Amino acid sequence: MLAKLGACVVDADKLGHEALKYGSAVWQEVVATFGDKVVGDDGEIDRKKLAEAAFSDPRALERLNQITHPRIIQMVKDAVEQCRRCGAQVVVVEAPLLFEAEWTLSLVDQVWLTVASQETILRRLTEQKGLSEELVRERLQHQLPPDSKVNRTAVVINTDCDLAELELRVREAWRKLGAS
Is the pLDDT confidence value at 2 over 80? yes
Name the architecture of domain 8-177. Answer: 3-Layer(aba) Sandwich (3.40)
pLDDT tens digits for range 36-61: 999 999 999 999 899 889 988 889 99
pLDDT tens digits for range 95-138: 988 888 887 767 788 999 999 998 998 998 888 888 788 888 88
Average pLDDT of the chain to the nearest whole number: 91
pLDDT tens digits for range 83-97: 999 999 999 999 988
Q: What is the pLDDT of residue 105?
A: 63
- Phi/psi at 55 (nearest 5 deg)? -80, -10
Domain ranges of the chain: 8-177
Phi-psi region of 75 (alpha: psi -120 to 50; beta: other; left: phi over 0): alpha
Cβ(99)–Cβ(149) below 8 Å? yes
Cβ(90)–Cβ(6) below 8 Å? yes
Q: What is the pLDDT of residue 179?
A: 58
